[in-house]
Structure 1
């Protein structure tokens, strides 16, 4: 029943009580012999007030007649019968006191009556001052106006006039007024619409309104209730539509019976079949109007949030929006029951579909296809997976780093190269979990589908460490897919297996180094299988003389040796091979930090060289002149190279 007060219609009759004869129905100014209730009961013009007190006292929570019959003192502003008649005329659905027949309505009547009582004082009209605010028994105040009479202002637009003042009673004083006073709480209560009307009246809840209509829940939420509704804002519904993907741009896209039923279930999940004010909220699970589904009220550092079947809680942005059939609280997220979470998951693209739809991941898609290792099919399965997805720029940088033989992904065309590409891609995949950025911790090590770990670094951002010296930055995190989550990174991650494979071996490194070209020539000229040996797994340590070192050696050997080609006899080639073996240590990749002063290192020739660390790193051979290490620790896939400025000479005797 919708109730509305039309205060402009309160055109009340004024009563003037001037005579003192026995026929006058108005209380007379004489020595008080009756209490306030008895005084009102003996006055015909106040019979509606007495009836109202009796009606309110039908509630077990009200005992106004006894209270006003007590010692007091009280001051009572007593509305006349005509004042009550005018009140009923202004209310839809209330023609008499009999219409206050529910416990809630009797409580409402009690609040109105308490608003007419001042406890603790018998205030005469001469004690009143203009503008004075007097607190009533209801807790709300009335204000006094003495402009051309005595008037009492309530929360409405029409004041009550004191038509008879200072009627003494044994426990206080009565001022007869020509209007029923209404506190703000009552005005709010009796002007309330249903929950549907509350939603319709809010500019921030237009999508909720449309959803309620589409789901056929208008009659439900217009019924008596009581209900509590957690009302998502328009922004919350837009976020839900975004989550559902391109197929759901508005509520109009909920057009099948299954989708409309889902929408109805989502809305019922926002309804509690009871009136729960914000002061009634307590941590714990609460049953909703969607059968067998609960939401959870969560204490979040002294405020409450609402948890649903998803991973994201709803914040309450406005509370206690009262309706005639319950209360609404505004929230910033559409609450999702498990059925809706499952439905949304089904609408999301898989990781592969998401990558295909993302322009900046086109080279990743191309790499998955080129590797031809079943990775496309794998990342289309249920998962869950976590994928660190390199951008197109990241793949372009990798191709540049690999050199002229790899200008595009199609250059991975042999079985070995495709296997290498598949190994790289597997190093970007974590199987068995969808790890969001909030799940990551600093220094966390995560095992990839390739078998090696990546390490998380959260210092100043989110970084992923691979087997190289350069971390990948997560530029976009938490792109949720149907079967996992994608984090976009700015670098192709490389496992140690690939780092090792991509490193040149010692021979390849020497060939690629201009200043070691004569060393390469010497290895070839000696024709002793050294090129093949230094291309094997090793490990080896090589002291590599520069071109200048070889030129100095040729000068020392005299005019018969103007180039390495002059080592052309078998004996000369054997000599050259022995010199070169004297520069090789087999079975260990010895870094400069592993060397100690005076250390003797056995070479592949069988003779030792000696390490001297005085003032640098020097290598002592069988001559009286040391070689200086000018560039140390040049790593190769099968060992380490130390570049030296002299050709080491063994003992040839």
Structure 2
């Protein structure tokens, strides 16, 4: 307290020589301070604090900002150093904890997010500093800054503009309450040293030292405590890295947010928030600084071992290393909480693709993923999580048998269209964004797949079944094969979405294709071609059409009735005769509708493409009446095509126009 009292009475209240109030345009706050002879101590203090890993005050105050900085003069820093035993210059801040204290002092002089000119300040205004505590502005008799001490600092040069903020030069180093408490506790002069000091000074704990700094726990373990630290040796950390595998060769490999959080959890698991000497050890669970996690002190002969979540105990190799804020005991093993066990377990799991590759009965699935050539192997090796329903080799063989002779192996999916079909099938087995274990599935549950369609879960007698668009269940023969990026359920059937069923079904023929495939309609096809009027193309178009299709026998009867000049359809060979044939054929076509036999009514008038009408006669089956006195019988009704409907009839229909032309 005597130190503090004398410290705060040494204040210089006069402006210093050599401080320039003007600047060159474009200079940052740091560059502005570097250009002022009276602020060299401030610049030196910033550089000294930045020696600590993770501290970059120079870089921060060189960034965009804006910042408001209250900049103590060289004399102000000299006054501070003069009152601290063992601190003749800023270079004497030479330990991590001392530099951390210096950084706290410096950030107490910085306000982030604003460039506050002196005209923006008001009497009694409170501003929050980067350090976290507030400063109070007083405007009585000048501009004064009130810190946690009883002595204000005076702004001796206001409003020194910089490219990223504004600087007000002050005649005193501001001290927050945090630093006053630290000074009162004598932390900067403690001869014993904190737990962090002990770790730093112990050669066999160098990796623990690096871990504490990396996890940003140095300040915590330098605080009042008391703490008990079970300190793993370097050999213990090396053993842990070996367990973690090839990707963890040093602490530098803990570089993701998840890994940094894990490292912090592990270190806190070694800390007890009380001073427990070796003579105080007793069997039982002991809560650690990692919330909701305990270690176990286990009696072993005349001593104790420490149990963690791994089941492998740590031996105590050194006891009662006393510090100013607690005690340390060295151990030969890194203690692992459950979160670390889970992490290690996850590391040892294989990806979904690796599991498939190593499972003999899934070799065809791997082959299908490769044959699809759509990046599915890379996708299922990614982070996930995924749920994969994995068909066995036997399931793929059954699929190939179903597909017919054109598909003897997966290599027969060799066109772009077939590979796309294979991708459609495979992605129907994948659920993205979740690892759905069987315990989380419910009867009747519908799950959207990566392909876009749903599969349905059916559970019977505790067995999980998966229904696809065929309605036939696949049975999960081996559930819950855990992977590093999800879960695999092995199934006994290849699942097929509706999109695959549609692609695998032979396309429905159009009217012309249906006629070409029907032997009894070959004369009709020949007539369409002979007419040479684009009727083949028309009746292959979108439609819809209704066609009354005369059989070959019907055309023979027509030719016989036409006389000796018409022995075959080829005798329609002049332009006039071809036009006549076209008129005859279009009298058999209704455009714009596919009229089923069940849609017809008795004596219904049917307008044809030729222009004249037909009439449906119902009673004894379905007859079609033309302009003659003999009705045509519909011998086969409702032949569905992709662009309409065909009714096969036993007579060539004749419009009045043709009757007149033939006579």
Q: What is the TM-score normalised by the length of structure 1?
A: 0.40
